[in-house]
Amino acid sequence: MTYVPEKPPARLYKYQPFSERTLTALKSRTLYFARPSSFNDPYDFSVPVRVADISMDDCIQLLKGKIGGSWDGVHGDRRYVDEDGKPTEFLRQTVKNSGIDAFRAKLRESYLNRGVTCFSEAPDDTLLWSHYGGGHRGISLEFDTSRPVLSRLHKVRYTDEIPMFNVVDELLNDSPLFMCMLLTKAACWSYEREWRAIHIEAEKEYCYGVDALTGVYLGARLTDAEVDLIGHVLHGFPTKLYKMRRGNGSLRLEAIEVQYTPYKAPGSAL
């Protein structure tokens, strides 16, 4: 399994429940990067690994002067290199065990310290509205992925197979297989069609420009008062508003563009 970066679609969507925190973030135009440990999938960012067998050819690559740090002095140690300069079985086993430990340490560090914010390709998925959009009483934010704040997006892969990695690739190249571990989820989550922005720090908020938010989709069960609050927050900005509803003759959701008109009390100068 290898990690190959992909270009995201022009628009991605972030589902959120209706809450004070959601309104505050909408007003301040901020995205929150959470710790993976707060996700609803306890196995997210902590999937198990399979380690490919280390060959003698892999060990030879390590002996070509590309290793350092704790590996300094390997060439002069007969436990690792025989009199002909060839790797020994002891070196092969040491590389395998050390690589596994280093990789697991990386995973633990990422699980604890990385900040992540998640998006979906779909604005009209009933399950997403149910699970992340407050039971259809939340909102979905539509983002323009060409904006700088979303310049480093990664697509989630879905599989029920445990990823396999090569220890030598990881030691020599900081292998992109590491990214595969951060972006792999069980196949049952595939309906999310998820993309992730990953930051080195967790529990941080980052601002996005006014033009980055191109639309806000209103859940089908939002009350008029809740819609009014969202409209007030967005009033004067170039963000389009859409209302979700069940399609005619269909069980699928569809989005209808709506216009927000601020309430004007009798005699008001507004």
Q: How far apart (Å, rounded) are the C-alpha atoms in residues 119 and 136?
A: 17
Band (pLDDT 50/70/90 cuts) for residue 73 is: low
Of the listed ranges 12-21, 65-74, 111-120, 138-147, the one predicted with least confidence: 65-74
State the average pLDDT over residues 99-103.
Answer: 71
Give the position of tokens 């135009």.
Answer: 29
pLDDT score at 264: 57
| 136 in Cβ contact with 129 (< 8 Å) | yes
Q: How far apart (Å, rounded) are the C-alpha atoms in residues 231 and 219?
A: 13
Band (pLDDT 50/70/90 cuts) for residue 261 is: confident
Mean pLDDT, rounded, of the chain: 82
**pLDDT tens string 28-45:** 999 998 877 777 776 666
pLDDT score at 173: 62
In sequence order, which residues have a C-beta less than 8 Å from that of residue 74 and are 6 or more positions away? Answer: 62, 63, 67, 80, 81, 91
Pick the more confident residue, 75 or 63. Answer: 63
**pLDDT tens string 193-206:** 999 998 878 788 88
Of the listed ranges 95-104, 145-154, 230-239, the one predicted with least confidence: 95-104
pLDDT score at 1: 54
Partners of residue 242 on adjacent β-strands: 217, 257
Beta strands in 164-260 (DSSP E): 164-165, 184-185, 194-199, 204-207, 213-218, 240-246, 253-258
Domain count, the chain: 1
Pick the more confident residue, 157 or 177. Answer: 157
pLDDT score at 251: 85
Pick the more confident residue, 209 or 143. Answer: 143
| 51 in Cβ contact with 96 (< 8 Å) | yes
Band (pLDDT 50/70/90 cuts) for residue 152 is: confident
Instruction: Residue 167: give the domain boundaries.
Output: 1-270
Pick the more confident residue, 129 or 148. Answer: 129
pLDDT score at 266: 54
Band (pLDDT 50/70/90 cuts) for residue 175 is: low
